[in-house]
Chain A
Amino acid sequence: MGAFATVDFWGLLGISIVAAIGMNLVYITGQLNLGQAAFYAIGAYTAAWIDTELGWPLPALLLAAAVVAGIGAMPIAWGASRLAGIYLIMGTLAAGQLVQVAFGNAEELGGRQGYRIESQIALPEVAASVGVVLILATLLMTSRFGLRMRALFDDSDAAAVAGVAVRRVKIFSVVVSASVVGIAGGMWALWIGKIEPREFGVFLSFDIALYSLIGGVHSLIGAVAGAVVVEVLTGNVIRDVVGPWAFVIYGALVMVLIAVLPEGLVSRSFALRLTAPLRKLRRRRVESGVLSHARVEPAGETVLTVRHVGHRYDGVVALDDVSLEVRGGEVLALIGANGAGKSTLIDVISGRVPNEAGAVTLLGTRIDGMPAHRRKAMGVGRTFQDVRTFAHLTVEESLRLSAADGARSNATVEAMLDRVALGRRRDDLPEALTVAERRRLDIARAAIAMPSVLLLDEPSVGMVEQERIEIAELIGSLRDEGMAVVVVDHNLDLALGLADRVGVLDFGVLIALGSPDAVLADERVRAAYLGHADPLDGVGS
C-alpha cells in the first residue's frame, strides 16, 4: 500500500475532488454534462498561459482559470438549457470534443505538442484549494439558490410552480460548475507541469461524470466519495496489484454501482443522517412567525378571472370556452368526471400548459403567456394531482424553496410547519411521509407564499375520512385568511362541504356554476357525474 503514501496520489486526489464538486454542481440540476473535459482544459490552459506570460500568484491563477472556464461555458450553458436527457448528453459531448480539437489547433499554446509550465502547486496548496472550493460549494448548496438548483433534479415542472426560473438556474449551474472544473484543470496543469490536448479527451469527461454518479449527486460528501473511489480504482495502487485488468474491473464496477446504487454511494438520506448533528447545532430557535400576506385583498373582491379559455390535447377538446371568476375568501369547487378538463383548467391558470384561446387575469393583470414561475411570483399557488413532492428535499427545504423571498422566510417556514403539523418531520424526505402528510406538505408548499389564488388538484385522493376532515379544515383556514381557493376533487363531500360555489365541467364545458345546492339539484350534473344516459344508450338491462 506504499503508493497511497506518495505525494502524487494525494495531489491528484485533491484535484479530482475539486472536479467532482464541480460536476455535482451541474448534475444536481438534472443536467448530465459529458463535456466537462472542455472546462478542465480551458482552466488548465488559462492557468498555464497566465503563469508563463504574466507570472501571477497561485490564487490569482486559479481564479482566472475559474473565470475563463465560466465565460467559455456560457454558450454551452445556453445551448444545454434547450436540451434534455440523451440529447443533452450528446450536446455536451460534442462541446467537449470541439474544445479539444480547438486546443489541438492552437499553435500559440503549443498545438498538439502541448504547453510546458515552470511553476508548481504544492500539496498544502492543493489541500487549501480543495478546502476553499468545498466551503464555497457548501454555502451555495445550502443557500436558497442552491435549493432551487436541487429542486430541478427531482421535478422541473413542480420547481417552476414553486417559483424557480428553470432555464436561468440551469444556465447558471452549468457556468458555475464549469468554473469549478476549470479550477481543477488549473490545479492539474500546475501539478503536472505539462499539458497536452490529448489529455482532455472524452475519457476525462467520463471520469468527471462518474465521480458524481458513483459518489452521489445529492451531497458534496458524495462528490468527495466518488472522487476517492474512482481515483483509487484507476490509480497506480490497483494497477500494481492486478496489472492490466485493473481498468476492466473498474469498468465492471461502474456498471454494478450504477445499477445497484441509483443514488450513488452517498444517498440523500445517508447524507442527511451524517449531517444531522450539524443541523441540530445550527438550528436557531426561530420564534414562531406569522404567515404574512403577499397581498391582502378584501374578501369578496374578484381575484382571478378566466375568460373564454380553450385548450385541446391531441385533437381532444379538453377545455371549451370556459369562463369563471374566483373571489378572495371563497372556495370554488370544480367537479366533473375523469377527463372533463378540471386538471387542464388548473394547468392553464398556473402556466403549465398554454391556453390556446381566451384570457386569464389575476388582480387585473393578464397572466396567460407568462411562464409558471412568474405567475407564482404574481400570486398563483398550486398542487398537483399526483403529489409532486421533491424526492430529495426535506420537508423544511421544500417549504423554504416555495416561501416568498425576504428576511422573514425562516419564521414563515416555522409557522407553516406548525400549521400543517409537520414540525417533527422537518428533516424527513417525502418517502418517509404518509400519504396524508405528503398532501399536507404539498398544500403547505403551495400556500406558504400566501398566493392570491390557491389551486388544489384532488387534495384528498387516497385519504381516510379523518385525514380528509383535517385537509378540509386546513383549506378552510386558508380561505378564511382571504385566499381565493379553487379545489378539484372527486370527493364531493369534501368539495361540497367546503365550497361556497361549485362549477361542473363536462367534456371541457362548464355546464353549471353556482351554489352547491343549486348545482346538485341540476339533473345535467348528475348525468355528467354518473355517466350519460343519452338517447343512444340502449343497454338498459
Chain B
Amino acid sequence: MTALEARDLEVRYGKLNAVTSVSFTVEPGSALAILGRNGAGKSSLLAALAGLVRPSRGQVLVDGVDVTPFAADRRARSGLTLVPEGRRIFRALTVEENLRLGGFWSEPDRLVADVGRVTRLFPVLAEKMASPAGHMSGGEQQMLAIGRALMSRPRVLLLDEPSLGLAPRAVADVYAQLAVLREEGLTIVVVEQQVRRALGFAADAMVLHEGSVAAHEEPGVLLDDPRLLNAYMGGSRPT
C-alpha cells in the first residue's frame, strides 16, 4: 500500500490555476523531492496535501484512506503533517511548549517518550527546553519545527523548504536527521529549492512547472535532464 497518494489534484485561486492535474504516489519509508522555481505551484501543492487549501479537484489519500474532506487538524491526526515554510514555530512559547503542542493528543507517558525521542534526534533542543523558541538560531528553529511535527507520530511528513534561510552547516544537519527518520520508516515529501541537496536525499523527484508535473524521475536521471534546468531557469537558454 502507498503511504501517500495524490490523485489528479487541482488548486485554483480565483482565475489562477496554481496546481493542475498532479498525481503521484509515495511508498512507505521513501522520500519524494518536489522541485521547481518560484511560483511553480510547489507550496500550493503542499498546502492542498496538508489541508490548508481545499483542492478544486482530486483526492489525497493517506495509507489508502481518502482524507480530502478533512481540514488540516484532522489530516494531522490522520498521520499527515506539514512542516510549513519559514518554520512558523511559536516564538513566544518555550521549546517544551512547542513540543507539547505537537503532542496535543498524546497521553502523558507517550508525551514524555516522544519528547525523549525528539531530543535524541535533535540534542540541541534538550539544552534549550525552557527558553523561548524565538531565541534560537534558524537551524535550531527548523529542528524544533520538525521535532514538533514528529510529536504527533506522523506516518507522512511534508516539509516546505526546510533549508530556507539556513546556513549550509545547519542544512546538512537537518538533512542528516531527515535521513535517519526515513530509515526508521517515515515517509517524507520535501519541497526544496536547493536542487542538489534534495536530489541527494530523495529516491524520487518530481519537477513542477507552471503548476503541472514537468518530470518525475529518479534523481540520477533527472540531474542530467534538460527539463530540470528548463523548469528552473525557464525556456531554452542561449549559449
Are A434's CB and B15's CB within 8 A?
Answer: yes
Are A492's CB and B237's CB within 8 A?
Answer: yes
- Chain A CB within 10 Å — which of B16, B201, B235 has the most? B235
Of the candidates A431, A529, A531, A541, the one whose C-beta lies within 8 Å of that of B14 is: A431
Tell me which residues across on chain A come within 8 A of B176, comparing CB atoms: 538-539
Q: 10 tightest CB-CB pairs across the interface, nearest first?
A: A531-B194, A491-B234, A539-B200, A492-B233, A493-B235, A461-B39, A536-B172, A531-B196, A534-B168, A490-B37
- Chain B CB within 10 Å — which of A464, A493, A507, A539 has the most? A539
1/0 contact string of A31-45 vs chain B (CB within 8 Å): 000000000000000
- Could you write out 23 A-B pairs with CB less than 8 Å apart? A337-B194, A338-B38, A338-B193, A434-B15, A460-B234, A462-B16, A468-B234, A490-B37, A492-B233, A493-B235, A494-B234, A496-B237, A520-B239, A529-B232, A530-B195, A531-B163, A531-B194, A532-B194, A534-B172, A536-B169, A537-B196, A537-B200, A539-B197
1/0 contact string of B148-170 vs chain A (CB within 8 Å): 00000000000001011101110
Tell me which residues across on chain A come within 8 A of B37, comparing CB atoms: 490-491
Closest partner residue, chain B, to A431 (CB atom):
B14
Give, as a whole number of angstroms, the nearest-CB distance from A517 to chain B.
7
Q: Is chain B's binding surface mostly helix, strand, loop or mixed?
A: loop
Give, as a whole number of angstroms, the nearest-CB distance from B160 to chain A.
11
Are A490's CB and B234's CB within 8 A?
Answer: yes
Tell me which residues across on chain B come within 8 A of A520, comparing CB atoms: 239
Are A339's CB and B233's CB within 8 A?
Answer: no
The reply on B70 being an interface residue by CB < 8 A is: no
Given contacts A462-B39, A493-B237, A520-B239, list 16 more A-B pairs with CB under 8 A: A316-B165, A338-B38, A431-B14, A461-B38, A462-B16, A490-B37, A492-B234, A492-B237, A493-B233, A517-B239, A529-B232, A531-B193, A532-B171, A538-B172, A538-B176, A539-B175
Give, as a whole number of angstroms, the nearest-CB distance from A307 to chain B.
25
The reply on B238 being an interface residue by CB < 8 A is: yes
Tell me which residues across on chain B come within 8 A of A536, comparing CB atoms: 168-169, 172
The reply on A497 being an interface residue by CB < 8 A is: yes
Q: A338-B38, A464-B210, A536-B172 are in contact. Are A541 and B237 (CB under 8 A)?
A: no
Tell me which residues across on chain B come within 8 A of A338, comparing CB atoms: 38, 161, 164, 193
Closest partner residue, chain A, to B211 (CB atom):
A462
1/0 contact string of A325-341 vs chain B (CB within 8 Å): 00000000000011100
Give residues of chain A (395-443) contacting chain B, Cβ–Cβ below 8 Å. Answer: 431, 434-435
Tell me which residues across on chain B come within 8 A of A435, comparing CB atoms: 15-16
Provide the bound-state CA to CA distance between A533 and B194, in Å.
9
Give, as a whole number of angstroms, the nearest-CB distance from A269 to chain B.
14
Q: Which residues does B use to contact A, with CB under 8 Å?
A: 14-16, 37-39, 137-138, 161, 163-165, 167-169, 171-172, 175-176, 179, 192-198, 200-201, 210, 232-239
Closest partner residue, chain B, to A463 (CB atom):
B210
- Chain B CB within 10 Å — which of A461, A493, A517 has the most? A493
Tell me which residues across on chain A come within 8 A of B161, comparing CB atoms: 338
Are A490's CB and B200's CB within 8 A?
Answer: no
Give residues of chain A (430-476) contacting chain B, Cβ–Cβ below 8 Å. Answer: 431, 434-435, 458, 460-462, 464-465, 468
Tell me which residues across on chain A come within 8 A of B39, comparing CB atoms: 458, 461-462, 490
Provide the bound-state CA to CA distance between A533 and B223, in Å.
14
Closest partner residue, chain B, to A492 (CB atom):
B233
Tell me which residues across on chain A come within 8 A of B163, comparing CB atoms: 531
Give, as a whole number of angstroms, the nearest-CB distance from B83 to chain A.
16
Give, as a whole number of angstroms, the nearest-CB distance from A488 to chain B.
10
Q: Which residues does A use to contact B, with CB under 8 Å?
A: 315-316, 337-339, 431, 434-435, 458, 460-462, 464-465, 468, 490-494, 496-497, 507, 517, 520, 529-534, 536-541
Q: A458-B38, A490-B37, A538-B172 are in contact. Are A533 and B234 (CB under 8 A)?
A: no
Give, as a whole number of angstroms, the nearest-CB distance from A434 to chain B.
7
Tell me which residues across on chain A come within 8 A of B237, comparing CB atoms: 492-493, 496
Are B233's CB and A531's CB within 8 A?
Answer: no
Closest partner residue, chain A, to B202 (CB atom):
A539
Closest partner residue, chain A, to B14 (CB atom):
A431
Are B196's CB and A533's CB within 8 A?
Answer: yes
Provide the bound-state CA to CA distance between A485 and B46, in Å.
35
Tell me which residues across on chain A come within 8 A of B175, comparing CB atoms: 539
Give, as a whole number of angstroms, the nearest-CB distance from A505 to chain B.
13
- Chain B CB within 10 Å — which of A338, A458, A529 has the most? A338
Of the candidates A339, A493, A517, A537, the one whose C-beta lies within 8 Å of that of B234 is: A493
Give, as a whole number of angstroms, the nearest-CB distance from B175 to chain A.
6
Provide the bound-state CA to CA distance between A378 and B229, in Å.
40
Closest partner residue, chain B, to A508 (CB atom):
B165
Provide the bound-state CA to CA distance between A507 and B193, in Å.
14
Q: A316-B138, A337-B194 are in contact. Are A491 and B233 (CB under 8 A)?
A: yes
Q: A339-B165, A538-B172 are in contact. Are A497 and B200 (CB under 8 A)?
A: no
Tell me which residues across on chain A come within 8 A of B137, comparing CB atoms: 315
Give, as a whole number of angstroms, the nearest-CB distance from A267 to chain B.
15
Provide the bound-state CA to CA distance between A539 and B195, in Å.
12
Provide the bound-state CA to CA distance between A468 and B163, in Å.
29
Closest partner residue, chain B, to A460 (CB atom):
B234
Provide the bound-state CA to CA distance between A520 and B237, in Å.
11
Give, as a whole number of angstroms, the nearest-CB distance from B223 to chain A.
10
Are B38's CB and A468's CB within 8 A?
Answer: no
Tell me which residues across on chain A come within 8 A of B210, comparing CB atoms: 462, 464
Are B233's CB and A539's CB within 8 A?
Answer: no
Tell me which residues across on chain B come within 8 A of A458, comparing CB atoms: 38-39
Q: A337-B194, A338-B193 are in contact. Are A532 and B168 (CB under 8 A)?
A: yes
Give, as a whole number of angstroms, the nearest-CB distance from B53 to chain A.
16
Tell me which residues across on chain A come within 8 A of B234, comparing CB atoms: 460, 468, 490-494
Tell me which residues across on chain B come within 8 A of A507, comparing CB atoms: 167
Are B38's CB and A539's CB within 8 A?
Answer: no
Tell me which residues across on chain B come within 8 A of A541, comparing CB atoms: 200
Tell me which residues across on chain A come within 8 A of B197, comparing CB atoms: 531-532, 537, 539
Provide the bound-state CA to CA distance between A517 and B238, in Å.
11
Provide the bound-state CA to CA distance between A534 and B200, in Å.
13
Tell me which residues across on chain B come within 8 A of A538, comparing CB atoms: 172, 176
Provide the bound-state CA to CA distance between A451 and B220, in Å.
48
Provide the bound-state CA to CA distance between A337 and B176, in Å.
22
Are B235's CB and A468's CB within 8 A?
Answer: yes
Are A339's CB and B164's CB within 8 A?
Answer: yes
Give, as a whole number of angstroms, the nearest-CB distance from A464 to chain B.
7
Provide the bound-state CA to CA distance between A529 and B195, in Å.
9
Provide the bound-state CA to CA distance between A530 and B232, in Å.
9
Tell me which residues across on chain B come within 8 A of A493, comparing CB atoms: 233-237
Provide the bound-state CA to CA distance between A341 and B44, in Å.
23
Give, as a whole number of angstroms, the nearest-CB distance from B216 to chain A.
19
